[in-house]
Amino acid sequence: MEVRTLTGLMKMVASTSPDQIAVSVRGKIELTYAHLRERVDEAATLLVFSGVEAGDVVALTFPNTVEFVILLLAVIRCRAIVAPLNPTYTAERFGFCLSNSGSKLLLTPQEGNQQAQFAASMLNIPHLTAKLHSAKSKITLSSINIEPSLDLMSKVVSEPSDVALFLHTSSNMSHPIPVLLTQHDLASSVQNIKRVYKLTNSDSTVIVLPMFNVYGLVAGLLSSLAAGVTVALPAAVRFSASRFWADMILYNATWYTAIPRIHQIILDHHLSKPQPAYPKLRFIMSCGALLAPSIRAQLEEAFGAPVLEAYAMMEATHLTASNPLPEDGEHKPSSVGRPVGQEMAISDEYGAIRAVGVSSEVCIGGPNVTEGHKNNPEANKQAFQSRRFHTGGVSYGGLDARFSASRSLADSAAWVSHMSEVASPSPSNDMPEGNNAPQTTEENNTETERGGEEGGHGLTMEFEKFSGPKNFSYEELMTAIADRKILGKGGFGAVYEGRIGKARTQVAVKVINYDSHQGMNEYKSEVITLSQLRHKNLVPLIGYCHEADKFVLVYEFMSEGSLDDHLFKGKSLLTWETRYKIAQGLASVLHYLQKQCRQCVIHRDIKSSNIMLDEEFEAKLGDFGLARLVDYATGSKTTKVIGTQGYMAPEYFTTSRASKETDVYSFGVVLLEIVSGRRVIDLERDPIDLIEWSWKHYRARKLVHAVDEKLGKDFDKKQAEALIIAGLLCAHPITTYRPSIEEAMAILNLKARVKPRELPLKSPQSPLSINWKVSPRWLKF
């Protein structure tokens, strides 16, 4: 009889192969299938006692550890929904995922995850840590001090229709689409994988891909566990080419799965440091993108095993099509193989099946294909037609039911979106540790967007509509920064000091990282936005360059660096007069952006490091790469959470919409930094953030104690109190309590009387989803 739930499959394997090694970490821990089942049931009991109920979403953010395996299965075991998240996400990304999924609990390793915990705290989501000390000890959850009993879980029976997994996919990562996968989806998929690759308890594998991703999770982990395979996790908790073959040899691995870039790294390491002998592999699986034929041939020659290319999608719970094992058929180059366990067809826009050899859209259907995206009827209407999922990929079918992966298929939204969730390795042969791990690329690249010949010409025509910035040649700008004196680095590139023209004019040259699609968006946004703006408190854009895949921006040189340099890095001690002038300048330019431009400009990343200072210490707001021009009447339709931790308004996490009010919030945070000389978040200095710290001094009626102690008594008390009050009001967690920028300017300029006693003595809490209909009554003009 077919087993229709993942928990049922796990129970069956634990019964038939109790002493088989299920999960192992070299030199640390080894769990048999019987032990694994016990640890999972114990963890599920603890989760139930912590308040987790059937249907609740529980977020997990772990590297590739035993605790992740146990807790993922435990959440599913108690009929809740697990949402695995990339542990290298920023707080903003965590905030979006936690809010979008409706997570009721966050689970992390014992050492925690600062970014995830910050996002969870903003959303009032409880957080627990987990630790397994040995194979025979029970897993522990912080704050849960009960002795777990297996009796409770013996009464819990999973249903095939239970939603088990919450993932995000997207053809446009500015609007991620949630995908819910059921127990039946998972059971069908892992059995398909088990069947096509003939996985048994004689097999073993080493996990290469991150398990928060559908490739590593379903193909690497769950399909192996459902087949009784021994799964080895890297002792370093992430892939390392230098340690990979040692683990493969130790566990006598028979197969592994990876994406093309990791295959390339494994191959490069072999060519530079070959092993004396390699384990006898049955096959190597490759998915996520097209594998170059030359790389495939080299892998097969080096490791003596067939490389099986596959087509995988999140909506199909991973595997959709695969080339067969040698004994089951011939491998065809540039083919993703035959459908695996479901219907796969080439159809037109109306759902009609196209003839053999005719190129059209790939559509799939079957028991492991999700019924639709969560809360997204518009996407479902387009993608799910005639009981099939329309992938957006283009291919053509062969006479033997094989499908050819054309470039358009590999570059299609449905295909590439899953690549975006894989934490790709760095150019070195090891995955970076901790926060230095690569961030996921969140949007698709196209030749035009990457500045190909056609794309560069289109950008030039678009930019030439605006007067002001000059179109420089790449050679000219590289000559300008020949000394490579770096001024700073950001997420999308580096800024260098340079000199241009016969006059050797000093400039700042920002070289965009062309591997970053977000960097491409930043480049275009910066040129278009700054070309239309004129204000004394803006960093002037002098010019730009886009040749082939090179993108460069040229700014007026700011001799005194950033406000961040002076407040926090000791470049100089800013006098009170200078601080007050900077605050007024920032307020003035924000008023210009929100009230005086043809369209309202939402900056989205106002922070101290984006406020530059010229030789007169005049504030200049810069970095408009994330800015958006919006109509005053309609407001922002931006749905991508992006910005900097600590400066982002609470509602931004839940609505994902930037607005004038979210910029006012960021402005308020900067005002408090200017007054106090403290970073908004500095856990080494104080466990509470700057906003709460400032409220503490307000409650004590000692506002002047919030002024930077390095100033001594050399400050204007009335001005300081005005800046603190304006900062607290602007950074108010309730949107409608924030003043407009005009009202904030009136406070700063001492033209508005503020009644502190009308502010709450207790620092207000973010209502998040509550709709507050109130007005700021504390301002008197």
Domains of the chain: 27-158 (3.40.50.980), 453-556 (3.30.200.20), 570-780 (1.10.510.10)
Torsion of the alpha carbons at 543, 546, 550 and 553, rounded to the nearest 10: 20
Q: Where does residue 144 fall: left (phi above 0), alpha (psi -120 to 50 degrees), or beta otherwise?
A: beta
Q: Which residues of the chain have pLDDT under 70?
A: 1-2, 148-150, 169-176, 312-318, 333-336, 341-468, 490-492, 513-521, 548-549, 625-643, 653-654, 687, 753-781
pLDDT of residue 373: 59
Rounded CA gap, 769 and 104, in Å?
14
Q: Which two tokens stand for residue 262?
A: 């990791």
Q: Is 510 annotated as a binding residue?
A: yes
- Which of 638, 628, 639, 633 lies closest to 532 in space, CA to CA? 628
How confident is the model at residue 90, as a pLDDT?
A: 83
- Whether the CB-CB separation of 723 and 583 falls below 8 Å is answered with yes
Q: Is 629 exposed, middle or buried (0-12, 13-18, 19+ CB in 10 A)?
A: middle
- What letter would DSSP give residue 430? B
Position 260 scores a pLDDT of 86
pLDDT of residue 316: 56
The pTM is what? 0.56
DSSP letters spanning 503-562: TTEEEEEEEE-TT-HHHHHHHHHHHHHHHT---TTBPPEEEEEEETTEEEEEEE--TT-B
> Which pLDDT belongs to residue 355?
45
Phi, psi of 764 (to 5 degrees): -70, 150
CA dihedral 53, 57, 63, 65 (to 10 degrees): 20
Cβ atoms within 10 Å, residue 381: 10
- Written as one string, the DSSP assignment of 236-261 is TSS-BHHHHHHHHHHTT--EEEE-HH
Q: Work out whether the CA dihedral 449, 450, 455, 457 comes out positive or negative.
A: positive
Collapsed DSSP state (helix, strand, coil) of residue 109: strand
